[in-house]
DNA sequence: ATGGCCACGTAACGTGGA
């Protein structure tokens, strides 16, 4: 089973790239963030033609998340029942697997903007609410994976030099991320030996990708039960080389049952 | 040369992203 996450920064613009990527990389569950389109504008047919099912929620201009899956999703939950939020950032589904149900959660965590911003406060609150939701979901679903754009680089090695103490790497943000790990979740990327300076996002400006001036902020977290089946986690930098790329690139985990 | 962005909505910039 392959599961993946990709912040596409506008599904309207990136749809051909997502379709091409899926054709090259058959994936059991692909979590997309930043659809930037209303729920009823979602290009369902493009995915159904490829044999995929979809669960999604969108809004105009901002946010929006989707889970594209080979199997039909069950028990779909949109947003966080513990956190009334107009911003569409969370979708959860259950998929079948050889070892039973697997809960897949797709998250687009807030950016936070700046340390003195109201958006930063919102970000930390949002993480607290996510923690509560995950705690509950983990009790219900031992096989759980939460994939998405966390907008947190967990450690110094996950950030290019120029980032220190600022937004995306500040201690409170890292603590919020760590509290998720403290639920028993594992950062699948760190289960394996990896090259140094591996990032999942690069600024469009200042030749960020060329200089590899990036951040690792897109993660796949696995519950203790699911972690046992994880045999690989890679960052696929190829789509970042596309014409008109997203500033994020996919992260892919392999589960071998 | 040490910097040069991108997408959206509404109509030439302002906002947000990270």
pLDDT tens readout for residues A156-212 = 999 997 667 789 999 999 999 999 999 999 999 999 999 999 999 999 999 999 999
Task: Please indicate whether residue A83 is annotated as part of the active site.
Answer: no
Pinpoint the alpha helices (H) of chain A. Answer: 11-24, 44-48, 118-140, 171-181, 224-227
Q: Which is catalytic among the residues A108, A141, A150, A229?
A: A108
pLDDT recorded at residue A32: 98
Average pLDDT over residues A68-91: 97
Average pLDDT over residues A43-48: 98
Extract the tokens encoding A70. 């080979």
**Cβ(A242)–Cβ(A13) under 8 Å?**
no
> Residue A110, CB, less than 7 Å from strand B?
yes
| Contacts of A48 by beta carbon, 8 Å cutoff, 6+ apart | A54
As beta bridge partners, residue A186 has A222
Q: How confident is the model at residue A73 (pLDDT cuts 50, 70, 90)?
A: very high
DSSP string, A95-113: E--TTS-EEEEEEE-----
**Cβ(A96)–Cβ(A117) under 8 Å?**
no
Question: Which nucleotides in chain B lie closer than 7 A to a protein CB?
Answer: 3-9, 16-18
Q: Say if strands A29-33 and A2-7 run parallel, antiparallel, or are unpaired.
A: parallel
């Amino acid at each position: 089973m392959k599961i993946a996450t990709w912040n596409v920064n506008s599904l309207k613009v990136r749809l051909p790239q997502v379709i091409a990527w899926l054709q090259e990389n058959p994936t059991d569950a692909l979590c997309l963030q930043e659809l930037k389109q209303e729920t009823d504008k979602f290009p369902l047919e493009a995915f159904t033609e490829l044999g995929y099912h979809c669960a999604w929620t969108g809004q105009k201009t901002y946010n929006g998340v989707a889970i594209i899956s080979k199997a039909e999703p069950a028990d779909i939950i949109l947003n966080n029942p513990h956190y009334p939020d107009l911003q569409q950032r969370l979708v959860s589904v259950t998929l079948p697997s050889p070892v039973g149900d697997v809960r897949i959660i797709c998250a687009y965590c807030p950016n936070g903007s700046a340390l003195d911003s109201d958006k930063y406060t919102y970000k930390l609150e949002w993480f607290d609410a996510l923690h509560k939701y995950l705690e509950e979901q983990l009790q219900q679903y031992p096989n759980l994976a939460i994939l998405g754009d966390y907008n947190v680089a967990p450690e110094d090695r996950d950030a290019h030099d120029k980032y220190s103490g600022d937004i995306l790497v500040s201690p409170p943000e890292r603590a919020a991320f760590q509290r998720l790990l403290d639920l028993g979740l594992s950062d699948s990327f760190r289960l394996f030996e990896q090259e140094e300076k591996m990032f999942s996002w690069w600024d469009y400006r200042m030749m960020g990708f060329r200089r590899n001036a990036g951040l690792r902020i897109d993660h796949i977290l696995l519950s203790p039960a699911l972690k046992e089946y994880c045999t690989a986690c890679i960052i696929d930098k190829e789509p970042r080389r596309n014409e008109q790329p997203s500033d994020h690139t996919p992260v892919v985990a392999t589960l071998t049952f």
